[in-house]
């Protein structure tokens, strides 16, 4: 009589196990369907660049020594595989239309109008505004903040190109930029401006650490893999990058010397000069891995009497991934540009960088 009882218990246990397995699979299926419905996933295809090559100036037409420049009136776009924030156009794209100087800024004459102050922002793709519309860029927002009176008396010119480093920025300032008669020149420094010292970057290989193509079949699995990977795999990758970059003393020395030379060029043309450090958007808290590299530039600027703003303080405490243009693109989105513009406007006022300027003839 004992055998049937054992069989009954075994069958009951097996049935419970099968029921649990079926319930789990059903729950996972429902979750997968919900993630797909709301397009929540952890793997994204890399963005596409349309007409980028046609937008670039050939070397013979560039400022000597500058690594890349855009053609006058060039148009190109970035296309993403999704639109999670609803900020792209119907094709999940952002289109860029440049002025006659090849920049994402209004057309102006070299000669500054009487009574107008001019601010030049020198930078790379962060300042250019990759992935955001013109009215959301740092330069556009900053101009609005500086012009609290009517009529407006301050122009902010966005002289930024994706891929520029401090050497490119200063060469352009020396050869072309000062012809626009700036009152204030601000280098918006990103840590890869030191010629990618030690391979330092946060998008070329960073995304590969936590987005695995093999998981693209499941929105649910890829989402959780990416969420964990950003905290573990990506962090180890970033820590190794920082350690390697700190050893590239010569590259940092050259980059900081370029910045200081920019200060001299601006001063020779009667303009004030400052530096703003734009943080990489990753772990924006007390564990921020790039803090030591920020401090190198802050110390250098203070030693050389260059006004400097470390924008990390303005970003600290924010959830970094919520400030990305897209899960596949770690450039600052419109909220990131707003945070930077607010902090930079306060810095300009606090330092009096546009006060008591001598009028130009």
Q: What percent of the chain has pLDDT over 90?
A: 70
Cβ distance 210 to 234 under 8 Å?
yes
Residue with tokens 């470390």: 310
Q: How far apart are CA 234 and CA 207, in angstroms?
A: 8
Closest CA to 96 of 41, 55, 61, 59: 55
Bond prior to 83 in cis (omega within 30° of 0): no
**With 0-12 CB in 10 A as exposed, 13-18 as middle and 19+ as buried, what is 185?**
buried
CA-derived radius of gyration, the chain: 25
Residue 150 has pLDDT above 80, yes or no: no
pLDDT value of residue 361: 34
Torsion of CA 64, 65, 66, 70, to 10 degrees: 40
Helix axes 334-351, 138-146, angle to 10 degrees: 40
The pLDDT of residue 195: 84
- Across 58-72, 141-155, 182-196, least confident range: 141-155
- Alpha carbon separation from 253 to 52, 65, 145, 166, 293 (Å, rounded): 32, 19, 34, 11, 12
HSE-up of residue 67 (Cα within 13 Å, Cβ side): 14
- In 232-311, where does DSSP find H-type helix? 233-246, 249-268, 291-303
For 176, list phi and psi in degrees, rounded to 5. -130, -40
The confidence score (pLDDT) of residue 37 equals 85
The beta strands (E) that lie in the chain are given as: 48-50, 75-79, 93-97, 117-123, 154-160, 184-189, 272-277, 308-310, 324-326, 329-332
Alpha carbons 304 and 336: distance in angstroms, whole number: 29
End-to-end CA distance of the chain: 112
Which of the pair, 210 or 61, is modelled with greater confidence? 61
Strand partners, 303: none
**CA-angle at 218, arms to 212 and 223, nearest 5°:** 65
Cβ–Cβ under 8 Å, residues 223 and 40: yes
Other beta carbons within 10 Å of 360: 14
Mean pLDDT in residue range 25-35:
83
pTM: 0.90
Closest CA to 309 of 189, 211, 215: 189
| Neighbour count for residue 94 (Cβ, 10 Å) | 24
**In degrees rounded to 5, what are phi and psi of residue 21?**
-65, -45
* Cα–Cα dist 327/330, whole Å: 7
Spatial distance between the Cα atoms of 80 and 330, rounded to a whole number of angstroms = 13
- The pLDDT of residue 360 is 46
Q: What is the pLDDT of residue 6?
A: 61
pLDDT band at 225 (very low <50, low <70, confident <90, very high): confident
250-296: per-residue pLDDT in tens?
Answer: 999 999 999 999 999 999 999 999 999 999 999 999 999 999 999 99
Strand order across the 48-50 sheet: 48-50, 75-79, 93-97
Residue 335 in this model has a pLDDT that exceeds 80: yes
Average confidence (pLDDT) over 199-212? 80
């Amino acid at each position: 009589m004992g055998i049937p009882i054992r069989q009954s218990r075994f069958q009951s246990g097996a049935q419970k196990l099968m029921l649990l397995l079926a319930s789990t699979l059903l729950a996972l299926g429902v979750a997968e369907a919900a993630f797909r419905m709301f397009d929540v996933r952890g793997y994204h295809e890399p963005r596409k660049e349309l007409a980028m090559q046609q937008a670039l100036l050939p070397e013979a037409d560039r400022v000597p020594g500058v690594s890349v420049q855009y053609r006058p009136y060039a148009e190109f776009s970035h296309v993403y595989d999704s639109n999670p924030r609803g900020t792209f156009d119907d094709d999940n794209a952002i289109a860029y239309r440049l002025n006659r100087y090849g920049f994402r800024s209004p057309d102006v004459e070299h000669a500054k109008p009487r009574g107008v102050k001019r601010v030049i922002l020198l930078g790379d793709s962060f300042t250019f505004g990759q992935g955001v519309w013109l009215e959301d860029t740092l330069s556009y927002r900053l101009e609005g903040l500086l012009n609290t009176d009517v009529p407006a008396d301050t122009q902010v010119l966005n002289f930024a190109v994706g891929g520029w480093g401090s050497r490119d920025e200063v060469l352009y300032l020396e050869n072309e930029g000062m012809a626009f008669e700036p009152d204030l020149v601000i280098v918006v420094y990103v840590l890869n401006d030191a010629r990618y010292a030690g391979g330092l970057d946060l998008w070329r290989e960073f995304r590969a650490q936590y987005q695995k193509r093999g998981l693209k079949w499941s929105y649910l699995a890829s989402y959780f893999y990416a969420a964990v990977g950003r905290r573990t795999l990506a962090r180890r990758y970033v820590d190794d990058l920082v350690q390697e970059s700190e050893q590239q003393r010569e590259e940092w020395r050259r980059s900081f010397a370029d910045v200081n030379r920019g200060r001299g060029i601006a001063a020779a043309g009667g303009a004030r000069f400052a530096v703003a450090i734009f943080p990489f958007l990753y772990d924006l808290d007390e564990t921020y891995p790039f803090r030591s590299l920020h401090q190198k530039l802050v110390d250098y600027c203070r030693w050389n009497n260059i006004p400097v703003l470390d924008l990390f303080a303005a970003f600290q405490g924010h959830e970094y991934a919520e400030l990305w243009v897209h899960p596949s693109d770690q450039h600052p989105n419109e909220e990131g540009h707003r945070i930077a513009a607010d902090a930079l406007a306060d810095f300009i006022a606090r330092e009096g960088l546009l006060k008591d300027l001598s009028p130009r003839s």
